[in-house]
Chains A and B, each alone.
Chain A
Amino acid sequence: MIALDLSWLTQGAALWYLNRATGLVVLVLFTLVVVGGILATSRRTPPWWPRFGTVSLHRTLSLLALALLVVHIVTAVFDKFVDLTWMDTVVPFASSYRPFWLGLGTLAFDLFLAVLVTSLLRFRIGPTAWRSVHLLAYAAWPIAVVHGLGTGTDASTLPVLALTFGCVGLVAVAAAWRVTTVPIPLAARVALFAVVALLPLWLSGWVRLGPLDPSWAQQAQHAIWNASILSTGAPHG
């Protein structure tokens, strides 16, 4: 019997890098999914805009995002640097590693699952139920962004920041545009517009005080250091 030694996989940094990479790709994909969803149901797009293509792309991208999200989650569980259980993939805020920031990711995943399942069953549950759950996507996305900034050890690097804020900008513009057409009373619309406009501002402020603070990554790094020391007995970079 040949024993396949895969310890290099779980103890090396491979899974960790894969997790971080898929995290970023999933952020971009979900950004496109949200913007695509807004465009798909807008009646103000010009006549040459491909409508069914947008709807079709929205669904395809969300499935692709799901696939990569699963990889992102699985790599996190298997990786030895952070101690995550399978429970932590669906139950938020119960993990040992950064419970709050990671928990946000779990929460976003839960919301996304709700959107996905109801979409698959939409003909059974009817348009009202389907649409109300689908609106949770507007909550899931920012929660995922904050999760990324809060847990990401390289959130302080310029490329990642630029990417994140690029995505935030895109969704903010699309959502603001959508708010101008949503059929609710003017007061509610103005309030919603304010939320959409202020969220990126708040995010940038928080990022400067939080994740960009030099001690933020160190705290995370510390946890990783401890984890790696415990598992291999030697420090890992």
Chain B
Amino acid sequence: MTTQTRGSTLSVDWLRCDGHGVCAELAPEIITLDDWGYPIVHHEVNAATERVARKAVELCPALALRLSPPR
């Protein structure tokens, strides 16, 4: 699932995601967990949330998050 914005797109690689939930804890403004512990990316990644989005990408134990540059 991807959420597009003025620049970056935060997307989840479903083949890698194992539902650790680190991302949702770190960036609750943009990521919440579904009923089974997997991330739902809600809001756009804007200037305010860019930093925390990057941190989420960094810390994901499964390397399942990707922050892509603007298309």
Contacts and interface: CB of A to CB of B under 8 A. Distances in A.
A191 to B, nearest CB: 24
Nearest to A37: B61
Given A55-B61, A56-B59, A43 B22 contact: no
B18 interface: yes
A127 B26 contact: no
Interface residues of B, number: 16
Contacts of A43: 18-21, 37
A55 B63 contact: no
B16 interface: yes
Interface in B2-59: 16, 18-23, 25-26, 37, 55, 59
A55 B22 contact: yes
Nearest to B27: A52
A122 B63 contact: yes
A4 B50 CA distance: 52
A175 B22 CA distance: 21
B1 interface: no
A123 interface: yes
Give the one of A40, A50, A51, A130 with max B CB within 10 A: A51
Given A51-B20, A51-B22, A127 B63 contact: yes
Contacts of B63: 122-123, 126-127, 130
For chain A, give the interface size range: 10 to 19
A123 to B, nearest CB: 7
Contact of B62 (A51, A52, A127): A127
Interface in A89-132: 122-123, 126-127, 130
B21 to A, nearest CB: 6
Contacts of A41: 18, 20, 61
Contacts of B25: 50-52
A52 B16 contact: no
Give the one of A43, A55, A56, A122 with max B CB within 10 A: A55
Interface of B: 16, 18-23, 25-26, 37, 55, 59, 61-64
- 7 smallest beta-carbon distances between A and B, as pairs: A52-B26, A127-B63, A51-B22, A52-B22, A55-B59, A51-B25, A41-B61
Interface of A: 40-41, 43, 50-52, 55-56, 122-123, 126-127, 130
Given A43-B19, A51-B22, 13 more contacts: A40-B61, A41-B61, A43-B20, A43-B37, A52-B22, A52-B26, A52-B55, A52-B59, A55-B22, A55-B59, A55-B61, A56-B59, A126-B63
20 contacts: A40-B22, A41-B18, A41-B20, A43-B18, A43-B19, A43-B21, A43-B37, A50-B25, A51-B20, A51-B22, A52-B22, A52-B26, A52-B55, A55-B22, A55-B59, A55-B61, A123-B63, A127-B63, A127-B64, A130-B63
